[in-house]
């Protein structure tokens, strides 16, 4: 069974931004929420470009340190990077690994802490 269409659909439907990068820091994929979130930086046009072009030298240093930490041990898979109080969210970097556990990239994960305002099982658009 090919799970790729299902996994892509999960990412496409996520309301939180998802940006996947390889070990060269090339943006491989952005979901629609990430395209909207980073519109002022180029949005979906960032795919294929270096993530490092969008960050300060200090941030780039931290990204490099995190990737090095991910590569040091297969149990190093998640690190907290910052808190955004205005949006009530925490942000993490998460390691991406192949089937053998080798590091192949990373992604940014946003976790919003607001209580859901959507009505339960509201089938009306």
For residue 32, give Cα distances in angstroms to 29, 48, 59, 95, 100: 10, 16, 24, 21, 30
Indicate whether 120 belongs to any domain. no
Specify the pLDDT at position 94.
Answer: 98
Indicate whether 9 belongs to any domain. yes
What is the number of domains present in the chain? 1
Indicate whether 19 belongs to any domain. yes
Indicate whether 125 belongs to any domain. no
In which domain, by residue range, is 84 found?
A: 4-112
Indicate whether 122 belongs to any domain. no
In angstroms, the CA 42 to CA 54 distance is: 10
Q: How does pLDDT run across 28-84, given as a tens digit for each residue?
A: 999 999 999 999 999 999 999 999 999 999 999 999 999 999 999 999 999 999 999
Indicate whether 124 belongs to any domain. no
CATH number assigned to the domain comprising residue 28: 3.30.450.20
Enumerate the H helices of 52-96 as residue ranges: 57-72
* Token pair belonging to 48: 């294929």
Specify the pLDDT at position 30.
Answer: 97
As beta bridge partners, residue 108 has: 19, 93
């Amino acid at each position: 069974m090919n799970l790729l269409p299902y996994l892509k659909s999960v990412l496409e439907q996520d309301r939180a931004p998802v940006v996947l990068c390889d070990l060269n820091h090339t943006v491989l994929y952005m979901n629609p929420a990430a395209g909207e979130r980073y519109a002022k930086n180029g949005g979906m046009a960032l795919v294929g470009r270096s993530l490092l072009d969008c960050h300060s030298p200090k941030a780039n240093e931290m990204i490099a340190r995190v990737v090095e930490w991910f590569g040091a041990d297969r149990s190093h898979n998640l690190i907290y990077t910052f808190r955004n109080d205005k949006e009530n969210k925490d942000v993490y970097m998460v390691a991406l690994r192949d089937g053998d556990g080798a590091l192949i990239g990373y992604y940014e994960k946003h976790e919003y802490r607001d209580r859901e305002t959507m009505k339960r099982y509201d089938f009306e658009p």
